[in-house]
Amino acid sequence: MTKKGRSNIQRRLIPTYIFLTIVSLISVFPFYWMITAATNTSVEVARGKIVFGTHLIENFTNLLTQQPNLWNALKNSFVYAGVQTIVALLICSLAGYGFELYHDKYKDKLFSVLLLAMMVPQVATMIPLFKMVSKLKLLNTVWAFILPSISTPFLIMMFRQNSRNFPTDIMEAARIDGLSEFKIFFKMYMPVMKATYAAAAVITFMNAWNAYLWPKVVMSDNRAYTMPMLIANLANGYSVDYGVLMLAVLFCSCPTMIIFFILQKQFAEGITGAVK
């Protein structure tokens, strides 16, 4: 391609670059506003100030004063989301692995019934789930938080679809070498499907971290509160300190953003069904 041809292509791409730049700035602005609001007073935030202030330490002190359980709520969120992510990945990947690599017409029918569960809203199952958890005496525990979400139709479908790219010849060779089915799963399937595991981990962790309605139902003890519940307490009042509220939201948002940025490449590969 000649230099003139490359120049013409670059000129035609200028509107595209301008559009993408504008969309990027619009997307980033809420996050920027959240950070700046955390450094300003409530009055300044209400007035629409969007530059950095000098009240970050004051807001942090007020946050600890208003919510002394901040660090405990942060720890609970990490524990609940971490345990749910690990257990959900193991169970859903086993299910997706079995549905795809050992499927028959009866399992396909069962999988179709499983997909119908995706159409059932969470609120429709909340009362019977609460009764089950209450009878098992699991209220205010990590198990009450994770049990309804350790096996989701979406994750099972995701692992099943991506398992179609798994080379079955490896399984046959492993069986000839005497490997058991569980060793094939843990030593061969899991390393090959690491991109899918990364994508599923990001989705599961973010959903668990941001969960509010179900934890609000099963967690009545202040010591079992999570970060979304703590933020809701800050917002429920006659006078809301927006600087403190935005600082708490920043605390709550950072872990999920960090995890996404670390795993963003694997997340993209897993969503598109890439197999390594």
What is the pLDDT, as a whole number, of residue 3?
59
> What string of H, E and C letters represents the secondary structure of 118-138?
HHCCHHHHHHHHHHHHHHCCC
Handedness of CA 18, 20, 24, 26 (dihedral sign): positive
Buried b (16+ CB within 10 A) or exposed e, 7-32: eeeeeeeeeeeeeeeeeeeeeeeeee
Quickly count: other Cβ atoms within 10 Å of residue 191's Cβ. 10
The mean pLDDT of 10-24, rounded to a whole number, is 84
What is the pLDDT, as a whole number, of residue 273?
59
Q: 205 by DSSP, 3-state: which?
A: helix
**Is the whole model's pTM more than 0.75, yes or no?**
yes
What is the pLDDT, as a whole number, of residue 266?
78
Lowest mean pLDDT among 2-6, 156-160, 250-254: 2-6
d(CA 216, CA 17): 44
What is the pLDDT, as a whole number, of residue 79?
93
Q: Output the six-digit token pair for 149.
A: 């979400």
Would the pLDDT of 11 be above 80? no
Quickly count: other Cβ atoms within 10 Å of residue 170's Cβ. 13
Which candidate, 69, 72, 37, places its Cα nearest to that of 56? 37
Q: How confident is the model at residue 60 (pLDDT cuts 50, 70, 90)?
A: very high
Cβ–Cβ under 8 Å, residues 163 and 122: no
| pLDDT tens digits for range 75-112 | 999 999 999 999 999 999 998 888 888 877 787 788 88
The mean pLDDT of 149-176, rounded to a whole number, is 84
Would the pLDDT of 1 be above 60? no
What is the pLDDT, as a whole number, of residue 232?
87
What is the pLDDT, as a whole number, of residue 82?
93
- CB neighbour list of residue 180: distance below 8 Å, 6 or more residues apart: none
d(CA 238, CA 121): 32
The mean pLDDT of 3-22, rounded to a whole number, is 75
Which candidate, 167, 164, 262, places its Cα nearest to that of 205? 262
**Chain Cα centroid distance, residue 142:** 17
| pLDDT tens digits for range 208-244 | 999 998 998 898 888 888 999 988 888 876 778 889 9
What is the pLDDT, as a whole number, of residue 236?
75
d(CA 98, CA 82): 24
Would the pLDDT of 194 be above 70? yes
What is the pLDDT, as a whole number, of residue 8?
64
Q: How confident is the model at residue 2 (pLDDT cuts 50, 70, 90)?
A: low
**Higher pLDDT pick, 61 / 123:** 61
What is the pLDDT, as a whole number, of residue 86?
93
**Higher pLDDT pick, 170 / 130:** 130
| pLDDT tens digits for range 173-192 | 888 888 888 888 888 888 88
